Every structure is written in structure tokens, then in C-alpha cells.
Structure 1
Amino acid sequence: MSMRTTSFTRGRKYVVPTLLAMSTVGIIPNTANAGNGTFQSGNFNFCVSMRFNATAAQLQQVRDVFQDGSQVLADATDGQHRFGAITLVNDSGASNSAEYWVNAGLGRAYATYDLYGTRSQKVNLFFNSNFQATSGTDGDAYTVAHEHVHHAYGVADEYSGPSGSAECAAATAESPTLNYSLMDNYFTRGGRVGGTAYTLNEFGVATNHDPDNDTWQDSMHGMSVWELIDSHTRHLATMPVGLPTDAPPPAHTVNFVDGFPGIRVMLLLDRSGSMSINDRLTFAKSGGKVFVDVMDADDALGVASFSSSASVNFSLNTNLSGAKTAIDSLNASGSTNIGGGLLASLGQFTTQPNRSCDEIIVLLSDGDHNTGTAPASVIPVLQGENVTVMSVGVGSGLSTGGETALQNVATQTGGKFYRLNNDAAIWRLPALMLSIQSETTGSGLLAHSPVMTISSQETKEIPVSVEAGTESTLFAVTVANLADDITLSLRSPSGAVITKFDILNDPNIEFISESNVIIFKVQTPEEGIWNMVISAGTVTTGLLEVLAFAEHEGVDLQVAVKKDILVFPEVVEFNATPTFGGERVVGATVTGTATRPDGSEVPIVLYDDGLKQHGDGIPNDGIYAARFDNYNDDGTYTFELTVVNTDGMTYAGEELFLDEPSNAKPVPSFTRKDSATVVVTGVPDFVVATVEIGPETLNLKSNGKFITAYLELPEGFDVANIALDSVAITAVDSVDITPIGIEPKPTEIGDFDNDGVPDLMVKFSRSAVQQVVTAGMRELQLEGMAAGTLFIGKRSVGVIMPGKVPTNNKGKKKK
């Protein structure tokens, strides 16, 4: 598939007709923020996105509340933390980089948990509810500080818990001078009981928090707020000796800056000698050029590269006419100086007269850093300049240590790490670059078929659901073999067929062809099911990757991991947050796959049920969670998740604000995808056993004697070689337990499931197992040794306990 360009276009773009009904739908470094939130020397520096065109007076109201909120935060942290520089971006700017959204109208505030500094994760506030304060006479400043504590430290509420209303301080301690906890109901407790003063401006410590253990904070973390913050690895504050200091710290001034809109991206491409292997540089160039092709007209892009040294090949600019020529000029030779490349790219941002809240480096490399400035040493500089890094590791030459380095530079700057480790699939790199481009601009992934095969003269159709209100959609196909004859056309929900030959000057459709990539971009698309029609002439390989993206601000799926660099047997804990209009969605379905280093896939389901075995904190809050430890090797594990919403609702908001209108409202049907990666090391060599357990449902009131397990080993292993004294149940729901060994007898080798594969029957003490499980679905992990090789198998069983006690989940009402 060849490409022809002209000097007038970024790619080969044709204007094609449609039968659809269309509708029109400057900062100083280190003193002001220019990207995702950062934390330096006790200062939180971040961007705030005003979700409406605020007047000068309204902007001043927002500044006043954040100033007062910073003073409350400083008081609660005994003067250790505060807001440093806050960049206000008016009229819906900085949507994906802002730590706070200020929405128009009324509503109930809420935040994420411990996701400060992570792109697209934010606190939702409402102007008419949270910014009407006169200093000292309203709780708005307390609300800002309260939500920030959720967002920055992962602290949970102390005014409610799993059983409903709760409190941090005992009721007998109620007095006008009560000062803890900011995470309790500051509207109704302390000085608010008989007067107007807000006094809950401290955190609890081990000696005074949660006397009856009923709060969400204790349920989720099992410790006081100060103990949790004292253990925080990124936003550490030192816990006081004894009780916190009651006197407030000296007043301080927050530095407010007017934000500059627009996205700025530096493409940073590896041109070391190894990039010549397996056409890595060829496809990297193709990916870089397609990134340029789909940039919006007002966004800026530059190109830098590195081998033994680094250079800027195309300066950061909104005029991109020379960017693709610069990419094409790259040649592979030399070593790998990743740190030097990062510094060269960073320099393009720092020399701009005005800084943006969206400054992103897209780093692509196929090898370990081996010369020049170490990338780890550049991370503090990037953080200081509030620049995000999206990193991509390609090819088989990247070690686990190299993966960890790329993961680290992305994570520490609020970005993401992407991995394409199979050289035979290097042709997929342009599709990966499209995914990263959508991540930088906030477009959501609608559909993704990673690898599919098409035969000569065959036609395949891929349905894509597009919801109402979508501003634009992008449909793309990448082809493994440039010689394969592949065409793409579209069929709209109303039946209109769109091809590249329909050139009748309609500006709502663009067609782009770039090396092995075919793209249609549709402005204001019709709602409903679009079909991507892929037709093959003569093909040799027939391998394709299909993607579709939607630009619909605030409609997204955001996936985050608690820790992205792990050592076995640590468990991956991750969550997914679907949003519509920027607000979390409750009642959706979130599922996906985990792709392991060898390419094998494991299905996964996420839950919003508040159960610890699923890693979920609070039920029905629109944050879906899961745990994963089904490892089979060292390397990168990729989690690609999909949310399908059919009848969900937006999250009502924190129960603390019951006097404000609920945010809950029906959400239209939509689908989005997102992914996250982790790097795992220290995985022992083991084989996966197939396990069956009987009975499949355990009644905790039963007096039965045994639980029976049947173990099958994969081909090449014999159950007759299993060391019986090594077999044990070692974990429940991925949480280690004191191993429960098998009963001495009976044991038997047979084929109990009649599948032609021998299995070993063993029995466990039923009472021993019932002591370590609770009601619900429980996953039991069995381990053992077979001829010197570790095997691990897992099986879920139902556990019942008749006579559940219902709970309610109501909190306290604001007064």
C-alpha cells in the first residue's frame, strides 16, 4: 500500500460525500503548573478545568475557595502540605490533564482514590454548590480539602461505612472544640453543633480514630488517616508524635495562573542500530506519520530522536507540514540514549513563551538505555516541568529491566507504558500509535480487533456502536503485508456507503492512507451502528488490526493500576472508571483480558461490589476493581478492558452532600475500551494445573468431613510424579493463608472427568477449609511439586451462610 502526499495535506486526504444528516455540533517553570498534577516540596501543583465559560468574578470565587482549601489542608497536615501553583483553564480546556473539574450548576462533589497525578483521573466539583463561600462562614474550603485528601492519599470517608452512618470521633467526645477528622462530617460535628464555626480540620491518629471500627477508612485500610498518609510513597507527610498540632500553621499564598489551552506533543523516536532489525524503524516511522495525520489543526507537535546522542528533527509547531519529512529522514545507527532524548524533547516545551497543561512526550524505543543521561535521572526534571511521558517498548530486544525503566518514566510523570514485544507483530506499531494519540487527545476507543485474518476476495464487516453527541469518529485498519490488496469503506446506520472514491467536497469526511494504515475520520457522525467494511483483493498474509475511536468529551473508560512494577508473588490490583459527561457510571459491565508475556490471554471480570477479594473499596460508586496473579513468566502484562453500558446511572456523589441535588441520572448506551500494563519480575517456573473441587458449594454450617480436589497436569507431566506431601491449599482469593495440606488418605489416580487425561484425587479437611473462607464466591489456590516442578491451580467455589443480615449504606446529612 503506497502513499502519495501533496504539500497541502498532512496525509493523503480525500473529501467524500455522505448522506448523513450532519449537525454543528504563559507559565514560568517551577512556579506554575503545566500538566498533570505534581507534588514537590510539600506543594501540590495542578490544573483546574472550568467546564463552562466563567466570568472574571466567577474565576475569582474559584481562586478564593482553593486558597482557603489550601489553608485547611495545611492545617490538617500540620503545615506539611499545601496547594502550590494552580492553573485555571477556562471554558472546558485541559479536560484530560486537569486534577479538578469545576462543573456548572449544582451537584454533589466526589473524587477518585489515590489517583492524583494520573491522566484523566479527577475530582468533580460544582460551581453553584462548592464555590459560593464567604471565608469562614461556609464549608466550601473544607470540601475542597476533603476531596483532595481522597484524591491524593486514597483516604476513605469517616462519616459513613459499610453499615451506614459512622463517625471518627466517639459521640461522647462531641464538643465545639472537636477538631478531628476532616474526613468526618464537618457540616454537623464539632463547632457546627451549636454555632457556625467549622472545626474538623485535623486527621485522626492511632490513639483517637474510629473507636467502633465502622468507617470506610477503617474498613478499607484498617488504620487511621495519619497512619495511612505517613505510609504513602508519593505524597508522604510525617505523622505527629501524639496528637496533631491544634494551632493552624502560618497563612500562605497559592500561586494562581491563567492556563493556555491546546495540546503539545513531542514524538521521540529511537534511531539506534537495533531499530533496523525486523523493520522496526520502518513501522515506527509509519506510526509517527499517522500520529501527525490525525492531529487536530490547533494542536502543536514536534519530532526528536536519539541514538548515541539526541537531536530535535522538527521543532514544536502548529504548522506540521514538515513533520513527516523529518520522520522520514531518520536512519538507524549507534547506541541508545533515552535520557538524552527526553531532555531534548523537554527543551521544546520549556522554551515556549506560554506553557500548556497538556505537554506530552511520546517515547518509542526497542532497547535498554546504554549511554548518556540515565532516564531515571530525568524523571524529577520532567515532574518539575509537569510534562507527561507516554512510553512504548517495541521488539524482543528489550529486557525486563528495560521494560521497567520505560514503565517507570511513564508512571512517574502521569503517563502510560505500552508494550509490543513480538517482532513478528511489529506491523501493529502504527495502530498502537493511533491508540496513544487518542489517549493524548481524550478520544475513546470504541472497538479493537487486535489481529484478524482475511482471505483473498473475502469481505468482513466490523460493527461499531456510536452514541449520540459524538463529535467525531475515526475508523482505522492496519495491514501486516504492504503487498496485500485491502480496501476499507463505511456503511452508516442509515445505510449510506462511504468509499475513498466518493470525492464530492464534503468537509465532514476525511480519508487518510499512510503506508500500512487506512483511516476514515467522520465529523458529527450519525448515532447508531456503523459498519467497517473490509474487502480483500489478492492477499498473501491477510493479517489485519481494526480500531475505531470516538471524540466525545467526558465519555471514557479510565484504567489504573495500584502498582505497576511488581515482584512475585505481589498481586496486581487495578480499577476501571467509566464516565459519561465526565461523571462516573454505576451499573455498567466491565470485562476484559489479561495478555501475558508469552501472548496467552486470561479473561477477567471487574466488580463494583465493595468486596475486598475483588479489590473494590466501596460498592456502587462507579469504580470497578479486580485482582490478578495468574502469572506465567517475567515481563509485561497488558490488561485491555471494555465497558458496556446499557442502563447505568451517573454516580450520585458523596453522601456527605445530601442537601445538594443528586448527580444520578440515566446514561445512554455506550461502549469504551482502555488498557493498562504492569511489569512483573521474579515469577518462578511453574506449570498450571487444572483443578476441580467438590462439593462446588460449601455450606459453612455443614458438618461434612472432606473436600475433594481433582488435579490434572498439562502434557509432559504425570500426576503419578506429584509429591503428595507438597500438595496444599495456599491462598484464598489471591490472599496467602497458612497452607492446608491434604489428608493422608484416600488418594487415587484415575480419569474422574472422562476427558482422557489422568488426574489425582486428594482430600482436604472440610473444617480446616471452612475456617479460612467467608460467604460468597471464593477462589482456592492449590500448589504442589511434580518431579521437581512447581504446579499451581485455582478453582472457585460458592460459600453460603444462611441468615445474612441486611445492611444499609446511608450517611449523615449536611445541615
Structure 2
Amino acid sequence: MKRVIFLLLGMMALLCAAHPLKAGTGRINADGTMDFSVNFRYPPTAADITNMRAMLQQANNIICDATDGQLRFGTIRLTAGGAHEDEADIWVYAEGGRSAVSFYDNGASFGTLGHHITLFQGGITGGTIAHELAHLAFGLGDEYNEQCRWGGPCGIGPCFDAAGPNLMMQSGDQSEFCVAANHDPLQGNNDGCPTVETCAGKGVCAADNCDLNWNSTTNRFEATQQSLMHGGLSAWATLDQNNPAQITPPAGLPNNNPPAGCGVPNIIEDVNGSDQVMLFIDRSGSMGSRINSGDPDSQTRLDFAKAAARALIDLRAGNGMPLPQMGLVAFDQNPVLIRNLIDLPLADRDPFKTQVDNLMLGGTTAIGTALNAAIFPFQDVETAGRTRTAFLLSDGQNNTGVDPETAAQTLRDMGVRIFTIPVGDAADRSLLADIASTSGGVMMDAPIGDELPAIYFELAARSRGESLNLPRTPMAVRGRKSGKDDVEIFNNIQQGALPLADTVGFQVEPFSNRLDVILSTRHSRVNTWRPNFTLRGPNGEQFTQNDKDALSVDPFYILIRLDNPAAGRWVLELSSGNGLSQYTYVAAHAENPMPDLMVDACPRIVNPGQEVRISANTTFGATLEEGVTYSGRVKRPDGSFVPVTFTKDPYTRAISATFNQFNANGVYEVQVRTDVAAGATLMPGESIFSGPET
């Protein structure tokens, strides 16, 4: 059956550009255990970690009690800063504030990129975590006294039994859910209003606003978020609806006694560390194909693959403490471990690049055998705090050796995220998409091959949960010496492409540590690639190809690296350095501890006719809500674009769009833009929690 594969891109109008990231780690397993991760948005102390462990145990006990032992925590990973921030389901801040979350009413936000609970100092309690997980993971609505938020003027619609209020009502530390028999018990026939006395202990609804509080759909006096979201269903009924394989509602009232066997979560501390990246480069004979088959001066796919690896080494060498670790496996029918997974100090940069340059073409393609070659290197190095990543580049079909899916599963079980890069028109995109999507990576398509250096620049950011301020963008400038052949190439490159320009701008966020900009050749004649450029900052800064101290120059790319860049709009102007037309890809990335626009598509791989939900979430420190607008489009395999419309759920505050206008089998690219007004505000926290409004 034909399938379509989704790529994710984004751009930010005010804050910065988005990046396509993997979904969160959150999932509810078949046995009822809940796996997820927690990311500290600051360097946590030992006391912070100890307290978080205790609060997670409390939250586990509450959820286990509330579900009568049917759900409980499994493996929880604690991370900090940029390591795994894109995967985290809970973000913990150093500042004070009130907890909040945006979510889907079917619980699908648990494990969806961009949907995470925000926890602030003063409110890091087991009850708060349990309450917010009931939103994020279960899709349940609030049932406490905030009807003004959901359209009701008074009262609450609680459930009452011997255990008192439920988990989703009034406070975050209760441990029961409502069943249908005791859900929103202020029922009536609208012939007469309940008096205050009738409602005593179950919420207050005075007779003078009885009519305003009557819900004609459910025939109840109610206006809770849970009731409005789920058509009057109780929390237990909703939980069963969203998780039928794990949940059996009680026959009567819930068991008030805490169940035995709630257990102790398996909490893994990964709050320190750097990156581990294993490069897999296909050196089979087909990688010798020229980018432009009719041009004897054209470079080969392997030439561009080597250039991409060199660019990644330039970006990573000596960057961070502890140092990043990087290895290399080259493969045809036989894999060769060129470099083990070891530290990459600045002194190793050039020797490693030489190892890359020495790669030679070989025979056939054995993707699975190559992946197997990385098992022992990953096993031999410490994992704590490491972002374990593999970049798998191939231009062919697996035609010998170990089954790739089996080998990929072994790496997935070790916590390795596999990012795949198919090159050319014969690559097995279906296989590579499966490997990427099931490991938490993404597939980055290189249909020609000259995109590879810019793609690896992008992967260097996204594999660490960071953003591109300027997504990979084609640029061109016509040279004054253009002859007939040059004009023909210029016109051919423009056909079917995004509008080409010689100037591009992008935003840099405040407090960025470093700005990296790449210019990589888009034209296969590397010997004639001589771009001149001027990079202008918001305060009059100016950098050109003559500022050698800020550059890393390669025949295939130029890296501009600036420390502590000024916040604001930067502009890159391109010109020709030799009078010939110049073609280039440009991208920019600012190192900054805060991500911005997060985009996800669910499902990532679909059959034609299936509907895809595209989610988006904007953050600047914490999640932004008011003053943010979203727009987007989907690029189809034939190059056509289909706009998508994002809407906000009034109850859950989730931002999403849907797409099902497929016209061919292949890769569909999602492009999302968000415009953030100067007065944009953060998502308000829930009033039942202590702390200032965020």
C-alpha cells in the first residue's frame, strides 16, 4: 500500500525559527505503566533532584489510587537544559508561577511534541503533577470552581463519595475520580432551581442564576470544563473512552482505599552530560553518482556526504563541557568503524575531518549490518546525561546483511534516536522513514545530494532539541559574466523552487550565546563556487568573507560563528566573488536555552486518505498563548502547496490543524509560521495552585 511521509519545518516571525522535533517521551504502556520525562529549565541542585523524586512518588501514588491501581508510573527520565528538552513532558522552571498545560481531550497530547506541563517553584508537589498529568495524559477536564472560564456564572459540579472530592476538582491532591452515578449531581428538570441549601457542600448555585447555569445538553445544573469538553461524561467514563485497553471503570463508586502495589517509579537521572553522535555514511558504489549526471565537473554524492560530515565536525568540536562524543561508521556491504564514539576536543577536529576525506567508494548496501556495528561503541561509553543520536545517510536499498529494522530496534532499546537522510532517487525512503519515526528521530530528505551540508547543519541543532532561526533557504545571485550555459543553469535551478533571492533576514533571540550561519554550495560545480556575503546585525555590526577569525571555510561551505550576538533582526546579503552566478543554501542557528516554535504531525507515516493532525506550540521561557497567530502550509511531492488553518481549542488551549489533501505517494513537508506580537502573554496558570500568574 502506498504511504506518505511527513517532514516538519517552521519559522518564527518575532522570536526565532522553529525546528522539526520528535514527539515527547510520554506513553501509557499496555500494562498500565506511564513512561515520561522531566526537564529542568535550569541547572538543578542535588536538593532539587531529591525533591522531584519525592514529588513524583507522591504523584504516582495519587494516580494509582485514583485509577484503583490500574495506572502507575514506569520509567521517568530527569534531564536538564538542552539535553532531551524536546522530548520532555514536564518542564520545571526556576521562577515562581502557577502550573498549566495545553492538551488534547483524547489524551493524545501525552507524547506529542510541544505539549508539556509547566511546573514552577513553590508549586512542585505530587498533587500538582498528578492533576496536570490527568489533563495531559488522560484528556480530563477541570471540575473545580472556575465556571467563568468555561461560560458558567456560578457553582461547581463536583462528584462526592466517601473519599471526598476527586483528583480533577478543587485541588490537586485528591485521589478519586467521578463515576457517572456521582458526577455533577446538581441535576434537575429545569422546573425549579436548586436552593443554596440543596447545593450545600456540593457547590453553591443560587436560584437567581439557575437558568444561566442549566446545561440543556446534559440536563444538569453544571458548567465544568470536564462536562463541556466531554458532553457530560464523568472522569472515569472519559478515562475508559481514551484508554480502553488499560482501564476498567468501577461497577459502583471507586474504591476509597489506596491500592496495594503502586510501586516505586524507575527514575533515571540524566541531568548532566553532552552529546553522543554516531555518523553512518554509505560508501556503496552508487554514492559515486554525480549530482549532475551530465556535467563531468559535478561533484559526487559521496563528496557532499563528506562535506556534510566535515561541517558537523566544525560545529561540534570542542563545543560544550563535557565534550561531545562523535564516531563514524562507513559502510557498503561491510561496515568499518572509522572512529570510535569518543570525545571530540578542538584538537581532534582536523584529524577527524581527514578520516572523513579518506573514505573511498565500495560495493553494495548493508544498512542493517552498519547499524549493528554501532552497538558495541554505544555500549562501551557512559550514558548518563547523554543525548544518544545516530545520523544514517544512504542512497540505496538494503540488499545484503542484517535486517535493518532489527538492528534499528536494538539501538532504539539503548536510547539512540536515529535521524535518517535518504540521498537521490533510489534511496529506500519508506525504510528510512520507519527507522526514524520509531526511534524518535526524523527523516531529512536530500533528493539531489547538494543539500547535505545544510541538512547536517540543521540536524546539529534539532538533534539537541534546539531551533533554527533561519530554516534551510535557497539563495541565488546572477553573475555579471554569465554566459549562455550559466543562464540556462540559473533558470533551471529556479524552476519549481521557492522564490530565490540574494538577501534574507532572520531574528535572533535575546540572551543567545552564539550565532552560527552556514552558506553551502547548491550548484554542483564546486570549483566555481565563490560567494561573497555581508552579514549585518541590528546594531550596525557587519561581517564579510574577509573576517577570517569568524569563519570556517571549506570548498563546499562557509560557517560564520559569532559569540553573544545582538538580539534583533539580522540580514545576510549574497553577491558573486568571481563574476559567475552563485547558488547556495543558507541556514542560521542561535544557541539559546529556550526553544520557540514546536511542530509535530500525528501520525508521521500515513496511508492516503488518513487525516493528519499538525500541532504547534510557541514558547519563550514558558508557553505563550495570547498574542500569537499561526499559519502553515504543506508542500506535496509534486511541489504544490496546500494551506492549513490552525485553530485553538477553547477548553484545552491546544493549537492544531488537520490535513488530508494527498495527491501522490512520497514525502510531504509541513511548514509552520508563528507571528508573536510585542504584547504576547504567557499561558495563565490554574488558580487552584499557589504562586503568581505566569
Q: Which residue of 2 aligns with 1:280?
A: 301
**Partners of 2:328 and 2:337 within 8 A in 1:** yes
Q: The residue matched to 2:127 in structure 1 has which SS?
A: helix
Q: Distance in 2 between matches of 1:470 and 1:92?
A: 13
Q: The residue matched to 1:444 in structure 2 has which SS?
A: coil
Alignment pair present for 1:393 and 2:419: no
Q: Distance in 2 between matches of 1:254 and 1:204?
A: 27
Q: Distance in 2 between matches of 1:168 and 1:412?
A: 46
Q: Scaled by the length of structure 2, what TM-score is found?
A: 0.75
Q: 123, 126, 136: which is aligned to 2:120?
A: 126
Q: 431, 435, 441: which is aligned to 1:415?
A: 441
Q: Distance in 2 between matches of 1:378 and 1:572?
A: 29
**Partners of 2:99 and 2:118 within 8 A in 1:** yes
Q: Distance in 1 between matches of 2:283 and 2:26?
A: 31
Structure 1 residues 124-166: Cα deviation after superposition (integer angstroms, max 9, x where no partner): 2112222xxxxxxxxx312212222333455554557883469
How many residues matched?
587
Structure 1 residues 518-557: Cα deviation after superposition (integer angstroms, max 9, x where no partner): 1201110122332212111346663322212222211321
Cα distance change of structure 1 residues 354 and 567 upon mapping to structure 2, 3 Å threshold: closer
Note the residue ranges of structure 2 that are not aligned, 5 or more in a row. 1-23, 186-217, 291-299, 482-500
Q: 349, 372, 386: which is aligned to 2:401?
A: 372
Alignment pair present for 1:345 and 2:368: no
Alignment pair present for 1:177 and 2:163: yes
Equivalent runs, 1:573-588 vs 2, <5 Å? 573-588=613-628
Q: Which residue of 2 aligns with 1:142?
A: 127
Q: 276, 281, 286: which is aligned to 1:269?
A: 281
Q: Which moved more, 1:637-646 or 1:459-468?
A: 459-468
Structure 1 residues 24-51: Cα deviation after superposition (integer angstroms, max 9, x where no partner): xxxxxxxxxxx95676654444443333
Alignment pair present for 1:250 and 2:261: yes
Cα distance change of structure 1 residues 112 and 93 upon mapping to structure 2, 3 Å threshold: same
Q: 292, 304, 328: which is aligned to 2:329?
A: 304
Q: 596, 600, 603: which is aligned to 1:556?
A: 596
Structure 1 residues 637-687: Cα deviation after superposition (integer angstroms, max 9, x where no partner): 101222221324343344353643111xxxxxxxxxxxxxxxxxxxxxxxx
Q: 88, 95, 99: which is aligned to 1:105?
A: 95
Cα distance change of structure 1 residues 345 and 236 upon mapping to structure 2, 3 Å threshold: farther
Cα distance change of structure 1 residues 397 and 179 upon mapping to structure 2, 3 Å threshold: farther
Q: Letter of the aligned partner of 1:100 in structure 2?
A: I
**Partners of 1:479 and 1:517 within 8 A in 2:** yes
How far did 1:380 drift?
4.6
Cα distance change of structure 1 residues 303 and 588 upon mapping to structure 2, 3 Å threshold: same
Q: Letter of the aligned partner of 2:301 in structure 1?
A: R
Alignment pair present for 1:454 and 2:480: no
Q: Which residue of 2 aligns with 1:498?
A: 543
Q: Distance in 2 between matches of 1:562 and 1:625?
A: 11
Q: Which residue of 2 aligns with 1:660?
A: 691
Q: Which residue of 1 aligns with 2:204?
A: none
Structure 1 residues 569-607: Cα deviation after superposition (integer angstroms, max 9, x where no partner): 222210111110143343223223311111222334433
Q: Which residue of 1 aligns with 2:665?
A: 634
How far did 1:497 drift?
2.5
Q: Which residue of 2 aligns with 1:463?
A: 505
Percent sequence identity over aligned pairs: 27
Q: Which residue of 2 aligns with 1:329?
A: 358
Cα distance change of structure 1 residues 94 and 633 upon mapping to structure 2, 3 Å threshold: closer
Q: Distance in 1 between matches of 2:102 and 2:375?
A: 29
Cα distance change of structure 1 residues 61 and 405 upon mapping to structure 2, 3 Å threshold: same
**Partners of 1:310 and 1:340 within 8 A in 2:** yes
How far did 1:405 drift?
3.1
How far did 1:284 drift?
1.9
Cα distance change of structure 1 residues 204 and 579 upon mapping to structure 2, 3 Å threshold: farther
Structure 1 residues 351-407: Cα deviation after superposition (integer angstroms, max 9, x where no partner): 213432421222223334343333433455444322222222332113xxx434333
Alignment pair present for 1:57 and 2:47: yes
**Partners of 2:418 and 2:442 within 8 A in 1:** yes
Equivalent runs, 1:435-454 vs 2, <5 Å? 435-448=458-471, 450-454=473-477
Alignment pair present for 1:599 and 2:639: yes
Q: Which residue of 2 aligns with 1:786?
A: none
Cα distance change of structure 1 residues 90 and 536 upon mapping to structure 2, 3 Å threshold: closer
Cα distance change of structure 1 residues 200 and 37 upon mapping to structure 2, 3 Å threshold: closer
More strand by share: 1
Alignment pair present for 1:76 and 2:66: yes
Q: Which residue of 2 aligns with 1:537?
A: 577
Output the aligned Cα RMSD: 3.5
Q: Letter of the aligned partner of 1:67 in structure 2?
A: Q
Q: Which residue of 1 aligns with 2:629?
A: 589
Q: Distance in 2 between matches of 1:83 and 1:476?
A: 43
**Partners of 2:74 and 2:266 within 8 A in 1:** yes
Q: Distance in 1 between matches of 2:504 and 2:390?
A: 32
Q: Distance in 2 between matches of 1:513 and 1:109?
A: 47
Cα distance change of structure 1 residues 572 and 226 upon mapping to structure 2, 3 Å threshold: same
Q: Distance in 1 between matches of 2:174 and 2:547?
A: 68
Note the residue ranges of structure 1 that are not aligned, 5 or more in a row. 1-34, 131-139, 188-197, 504-508, 611-616, 664-815
Alignment pair present for 1:293 and 2:324: no
Q: Which residue of 2 aligns with 1:677?
A: none
Which is bigger in relative contact order (C-alpha 8 A, separation at least 6)?
A: 2
Q: Distance in 1 between matches of 2:437 and 2:153?
A: 36
Q: Distance in 1 between matches of 2:405 and 2:239?
A: 25
**Partners of 1:340 and 1:373 within 8 A in 2:** yes
Cα distance change of structure 1 residues 406 and 453 upon mapping to structure 2, 3 Å threshold: same
Cα distance change of structure 1 residues 219 and 472 upon mapping to structure 2, 3 Å threshold: farther
